[in-house]
Amino acid sequence: MKMPFSIFSRKKPTRRFNDFYSDWSKTLTDNCLPLLRQSLSSTASASVLSSNVDLVLRHLVLYYETLDLAADPNTIPYLLFPSWRNSLETPFLFLGDIHPYLLTNLLRSFIDRENQDSDYEDEDTLRLIPDLVNQPLKIATAWKDPSDELVMRIDQIECTMRLMVPVLMDRVRKAQRGFVSRVSENWISAYQVGKKKKTAVTAASAGVEDAAKGEMEELVSIFVDANRLRKSVIMDIVGATSEHQAALFLEGLCQFLAGFKDQVLLQDFEVVALPN
């Protein structure tokens, strides 16, 4: 006989994706970041820049496409609460992966930093800024005075996210409410007067499993839609920016993702000062 809530105690079916994620992260750090940094050097040609931007973008898209393929009613509990994410990453997660707002916030930070102070306009001053040393002027000033077209496109991307994120959260809340309601009804019905305890437990367990299956299917749909949103935002940003801007954005995103794996940073983050 199945034990109550046995559906939640199945063997985790995400080992293969864990392996993929480990390899994908290593490639991001060891290959993608160096390629982008090479592209942003003064010796890189336009063709090298374009090729490397495309390669890194495809690497990011591959991740979300693979994540979607891994999602099904059996794997979704573990994809929404991934064991391969550490405590440093957890605050940035939205439905199992980085929050879409992080992507546009990163883009805005480039623009705001470059345009907040008019003192950094001439080439001599730019060479004194530590982050811009050894960068050609075209790269160092890539975000200076963004075009109206780019600003408008960023506004459109952010508007789409402001519409989509609350919808996704509302779908999650409805799925949870429906699950709790169905479990409660089935559990109470199974323990009606006159039913034997053994029969009641079996009936209650079956009711919980039926309710869970329905919820898991909806959560898979929500999870895939969230990933499509993340993927489309990255692709839209790269499509809206120049190649130099796209390279800088992707470098910043890759650096951010790679930073989560920094063991020194992670160790410092996990050190909690306990009260005496």
| Each residue's pLDDT tens digit, 41-53 | 877 788 989 999 9
Domain count, the chain: 1
Q: What is the pLDDT of residue 162?
A: 94
Q: What is the pLDDT of residue 188?
A: 60
Range 8-38 burial, b when 16+ CB lie within 10 A, else e: eeeeeebeebeebbeebbeebbeebbebbee
What's the CA gap between 249 and 157, in Å, rounded? 15
What's the CA gap between 100 and 102, in Å, rounded? 5
Residue 207 — pLDDT band, cuts 50, 70, 90?
low
Residue 3 inside a domain? The answer is: no
Contacts of 6 (CB under 8 A, 6+ apart): 205, 209
Residue 216 inside a domain? The answer is: yes
In this structure, what token pair is assigned to residue 184?
Answer: 């409660």
| Three-state secondary-structure class, residue 93 | strand
What would the pLDDT profile of 211-270 be if each residue is shown by its tens digit? 667 788 899 999 999 999 999 999 999 999 999 999 999 999 999 999 887 777 667 666
Q: Is the dihedral of CA 143, 146, 152, 155 positive or negative?
A: positive
Cβ contact 265:54 at 8 Å? no
The residue among 249, 269, 247, 271 whose CA lies nearest residue 259 is: 269
Q: Looking at the predicted structure, is the pLDDT value of residue 107 above 60?
A: yes
| Three-state secondary-structure class, residue 152 | helix
Enumerate the β-bridge partners of residue 51: none
State the residue for tokens 């160790």.
267
Residue 120 inside a domain? The answer is: no
In this structure, what token pair is assigned to residue 76?
Answer: 């979704």
What's the CA gap between 251 and 229, in Å, rounded? 20
Residue 123 inside a domain? The answer is: no
Residue 26 inside a domain? The answer is: yes
* Count of Cβ atoms closer than 10 Å to residue 40 Cβ: 21
What's the CA gap between 121 and 110, in Å, rounded? 15
3-state helix, strand, coil in the chain (%, to 5): 75, 0, 25
Residue 10 inside a domain? The answer is: no
Please list the alpha-helical segments (H only) found in 71-147.
76-80, 100-115, 123-126, 137-140
Q: Mean pLDDT check: name the lowest of 32-41, 85-94, 119-128, 186-195.
A: 119-128
Residue 189 inside a domain? The answer is: yes
- Give phi and psi for 93, each to the nearest 5: -90, 145
The domain in which residue 141 lies consists of 16-115+130-273
Q: Looking at the predicted structure, is the pLDDT value of residue 1 above 70?
A: no
Residue 28 DSSP code: I
